Amino acid sequence: MTALEVLPIDDSCPEIVAALRARGGLIVCAPPGAGKTTRVPRALHDEGFASHGEILVLEPRRLAARLAAARVASEFGQRVGQTAGFSIRFESVAGPDTRIRFVTEGIFSRMILQNPRLLGVSVVILDEFHERHLATDLALAFLRRLQMESRPELKLIVMSATLDAAPIAEYLGDVPVISSEGARFEVAVEYETRQDERPLHKRVARAVLKLLEEKLDGHVLVFLPGAAEIRMASEILGDLARRSGLLLLPLHGDLPAAAQARAVEPSEQRKLILATNVAETSVTIPGIAAVIDSGLARVAGHSAWSGLPTLSLAKVSKASAIQRTGRAGRTRDGRALRLYTRHDFESRPEHDMPEIKRADLSDSVLTLHGAGISDLRSFTWFDAPSEISLRAAENLLTQLGALEPSGTLTQSGRQMLRFPVHPRLARLIVEGEKLGVAEQACLLAALLGERDLRLEARSDLGRPAAPRTKDHAGPSDLLERIESFREAESARGDPRHQRSLGLDPRVVESVDRARAQLRRLIKHGKSTVRDQDEAQALMVATLSAFPDRVARRRGPGQVEFLLASGGSGRLAATSVVQLAPLIVAVDAEARTGSKGTRDSSSVLIRLASAVEPEWLAGLFPEAITQKTTLFWNGGAERVDEASQTLYRDLVLEESVRPALASEAVSQILLDRARARGLPLFSDGEQVPALRARMALLAHHFPSAGLRLLDDSQIADAIAACCIGKRSIEELNHYRLKPVGFFSTESRDCG
């Protein structure tokens, strides 16, 4: 066992242990680099908290979980997977002797389903809670409910460097709050005097050069939004790093474990580390003398259109910026160069908005139903989601067949819970199992759940995609993605060849790993359909996952579509689905106007797949309705009848024919006849003169008892003419005939 480096949190560990023995939970607040991630679970282990169950530490990122487990294992003098281990997506290094397990929040959500009472777990630690991911809030609420109902002995710790602890302490039952200030070193923060409009990688290069010219010693940590920005910065900094004797190292979640370890391990050679925001919260990198902060991050979200995960570029909050700055002041005075102005910093929010206030809740709602929690309105949320968000999630799950209209979990919903993907993709796989294409459905779900594997779709990696022509039309953009992946498989182990095919090797690898994980969970792997039927089965499975995204082409050859969800959409020129009259729009984005305003009525459809009407009837018979409507055909001047087949409010098929005579038809004709008035009838011009003569006779011969011809009589005569008729042409053959005043020789309707 190696000698432990003294860390600031060590002085607080006895107090943490004592407080947890006395109470069911506590809050630990400590600055970046204090050592809370590794030392608190170690202290609890040494004091016997792991003797009756594992200590679970929830981390927001895979990198943090893997590195923290490695650090704790090394301090035990062991390999990872013995006393300390980790479980993350695609990888679990743990065994029967593991007592401290670092897990990602997503893995914990799966644990809730498999072990709703968390039997075999004694302590759960929510690390870096201030990030407020949706899975974090779900975990906190679930654990609090568990404590209050069936596991009062379960211990719970919430930890963070930047956290308003009071509300959480109250939520957990007024638990203690323990703060560890640790050793504080000064970090000089420098801002830009004005906004620099140059590309980010050039601004980073200028900042690095400034630090080198000022003879800074120690490592430099650069915070960049994502892997693409890291790649561009690496290219421009390569020569400078070599000349200056710097070890240029990337650090992000997609790197292999060995490459991540190189970035965080101690080094005699000065390092220039280009990192995403994983370095905000992962194990502290020793020896950082300066931080360069772009002030940007790729923020996880979801597409409002598809519900699938997205990453968007956004400014970080003040709390995140402070976290980043603190990485330069762990063991010595440091510097932080913020590549934005002081005014920019002051205008940022204090904390990031919790995901529960902005994210799609369908995955969490399905998870809670799977854990036996169906009354979500009385569920003890820390921050309750809005009623609108809950209702939207429940509505989507009902459309996917996961919930009954009454809100109870269906058999399909239970099947969907087997797969650690968005409910839409889980529905796709379940339908694929039914249709005998389970393995292919797993591949399709992996392709949709991961980033686009085509270089042409990434502006930083390749040329824009070329428009498609009718000669290159196909039934589905998704089938084309499958073909691209299979081409990449044929070049397995040859990233250069994969790039020559226009594919990103790293994304290909991610898709392959996701597919393998999903394949392990299906019940029937081998295809049971003929090759020529496989494509159709996959297209039907896709439709089952996006029942609300059906669209109909306005007309042959047009790119405009009417959407079942309302509004219209335009098919991207890069789509192969150039001919199908009916599609499911799998991925789309709202179009913006010239002033940057979003047009909610029109979207750009980027990924589409053809649909046949009978597929809709087979999957969603309750959504298919027949509707007959009467309408006035202005061109033919008659009442016509339109017979429509609708999927929800979207017209799938429509036929028009002249309406049969009926009371409703007569009423429509009457409205038009009244609007046209007396000139419509052949003798209509005679009526005013007739009215005048009758009035004159009545005036001079009152004893004759003549009845005046008034408006109501004329209206009644027009109405009588419309009975049994349906067109203006038919009315043209009739004359109005008040009794005794028109010739009885002509056809009339009086």
* In a shared domain, residues 231 and 340: yes
Angle at 198 between CA 194 and CA 199, to 5 degrees: 130
* In a shared domain, residues 206 and 343: yes
* In a shared domain, residues 115 and 159: yes
Tell me the pLDDT tens digit for each residue of 33-86: 788 999 999 999 999 999 989 999 999 888 889 989 999 999 999 999 999 999
Residue type, 224: L
Here the CATH number for the domain that contains residue 36 is 3.40.50.300
CA of residue 87 relative to chain centroid, distance: 24
Strand partners, 43: none
Instruction: Using DSSP, state whether 315 is helix, strand or coil.
Output: strand
Q: Does the structure show a pLDDT above 90 at 609?
A: yes
Output the CA torsion sign for 328, 329, 335, 337: positive
Q: Does the structure show a pLDDT above 70 at 2?
A: no
Q: Which two tokens stand for residue 707?
A: 């009845």
Q: How sure is the predictor about 741, in pLDDT bands with cuts at 50, 70 and 90?
A: very low
Q: Does the structure show a pLDDT above 50 at 734?
A: yes
Q: How sure is the predictor about 511, in pLDDT bands with cuts at 50, 70 and 90?
A: very high
Position 530 scores a pLDDT of 65
Query: What are the φ/ψ torsions at residue 309 (nearest 5 degrees)?
Result: -65, 145
Closest CA to 154 of 172, 179, 138: 172
* In a shared domain, residues 63 and 136: yes
The tokens 């029942």 sit on which residue?
547
User: What is the Cα–Cα distance from 223 to 214, expressed in whole angstroms?
Assistant: 20
Residue 485, burial from CB neighbour count under 10 angstroms (0-12, 13-18, 19+): buried
Q: Where are the alpha helices (DSSP H) in 491-635?
A: 495-500, 505-519, 531-545, 613-619
Q: How sure is the predictor about 402, in pLDDT bands with cuts at 50, 70 and 90?
A: very high
Instruction: Using DSSP, state whether 233 is helix, strand or coil.
Output: helix
Angle at 648 between CA 642 and CA 649, to 5 degrees: 55
**Residue 379 in domain:** no
Of 152, 179, 206, at which residue does a domain stop?
179
Across residues 336-352, what is the average pLDDT? 93
* In a shared domain, residues 108 and 195: no
Q: Which helix (H) or strand (E) holds 219?
A: strand 219-223
Q: Does the structure show a pLDDT above 60 at 601?
A: no
* In a shared domain, residues 269 and 156: no
* In a shared domain, residues 339 and 200: yes
| For the chain, percent of residues with pLDDT exceeding 70 | 90
User: What is the Cα–Cα distance from 518 to 446, expressed in whole angstroms?
Assistant: 8
CA of residue 104 relative to chain centroid, distance: 19
Closest CA to 451 of 460, 440, 439: 460
Closest CA to 250 of 270, 269, 228: 228
Across residues 545-558, what is the average pLDDT? 93
- Domain coverage including residue 76: 8-179
Residue type, 701: F
Q: How many domains does the chain have?
A: 4
Q: Which helix (H) or strand (E) holds 112?
A: helix 105-114
Q: Could you give the angle at which helices 531-545 and 477-490 cross, rounded to 10 degrees?
A: 120
**Residue 516 in domain:** no
* In a shared domain, residues 245 and 139: no
Q: How far is CA 530 from CA 318, 539, 613, 683, in A?
A: 57, 15, 22, 73
Of 179, 202, 224, at which residue does a domain stop?
179
Better pLDDT: 309 or 220? 220
Output the CA torsion sign for 674, 680, 684, 688: positive
Position 532 scores a pLDDT of 63
* In a shared domain, residues 634 and 681: no
User: What is the Cα–Cα distance from 387 to 379, expressed in whole angstroms?
Assistant: 13
* In a shared domain, residues 207 and 289: yes
- In this prediction the pTM is 0.84
Strand partners, 552: 562, 582
First to last CA, the chain: 112
Q: Does the structure show a pLDDT above 80 at 699?
A: no
Position 740 scores a pLDDT of 35
Tell me the pLDDT tens digit for each residue of 228-241: 899 999 999 999 99
**468 contact partners, CB below 8 Å, separation of at least 6:** 573, 574, 575, 576, 578
* In a shared domain, residues 116 and 264: no
**Residue 421 in domain:** no
Across residues 234-258, what is the average pLDDT? 89
- Lowest model confidence (mean pLDDT) among 39-53, 116-130, 308-322, 589-603: 589-603
Q: How far is CA 32 from CA 70, 263, 327, 661, 729, in A?
A: 19, 18, 6, 81, 86
Q: Which two tokens stand for residue 43?
A: 């202290």
Position 625 scores a pLDDT of 94
Of 659, 692, 708, at which residue does a domain stop?
659
Q: How sure is the predictor about 746, in pLDDT bands with cuts at 50, 70 and 90?
A: very low
Tell me the pLDDT tens digit for each residue of 140-175: 999 999 999 999 999 999 998 877 899 999 999 999
- Name the region of 81 (left: φ>0; alpha: ψ -120 to 50; beta: rest): left
**Residue 59 in domain:** yes
**Residue 533 in domain:** no
Closest CA to 55 of 76, 40, 33, 74: 40
Output the CA torsion sign for 276, 277, 278, 283: positive
* In a shared domain, residues 200 and 266: yes
CA trace torsion 649, 655, 657, 662 (10° rounding):
-40
Q: How sure is the predictor about 281, in pLDDT bands with cuts at 50, 70 and 90?
A: low
Tell me the pLDDT tens digit for each residue of 215-225: 888 899 999 99
Instruction: Using DSSP, state whether 658 is helix, strand or coil.
Output: strand
Asked if 73 and 65 touch (Cβ cutoff 8 Å), the reply is no
Position 309 scores a pLDDT of 65
Q: Where are the alpha helices (DSSP H) in 30-102?
A: 36-46, 62-76
Across residues 634-653, what is the average pLDDT? 93
Better pLDDT: 354 or 32? 354
Backbone Cα Rg of the chain = 35
**Residue 409 in domain:** no
**Residue 413 in domain:** no
Largest CA distance in the chain: 130
Closest CA to 512 of 579, 447, 424, 585: 447
Across residues 589-599, what is the average pLDDT? 55
Residues in the chain, overall count: 750
**Residue 420 in domain:** no
CA trace torsion 277, 278, 281, 286 (10° rounding):
-100
- Lowest model confidence (mean pLDDT) among 92-96, 131-135, 578-582: 131-135
- Name the region of 98 (left: φ>0; alpha: ψ -120 to 50; beta: rest): beta
- Lowest model confidence (mean pLDDT) among 279-293, 490-504, 592-606, 733-747: 733-747
Angle at 554 between CA 552 and CA 560, to 5 degrees: 90
Average pLDDT, the chain: 87
Q: Which two tokens stand for residue 629?
A: 């409507």
Q: Does the structure show a pLDDT above 70 at 471?
A: no
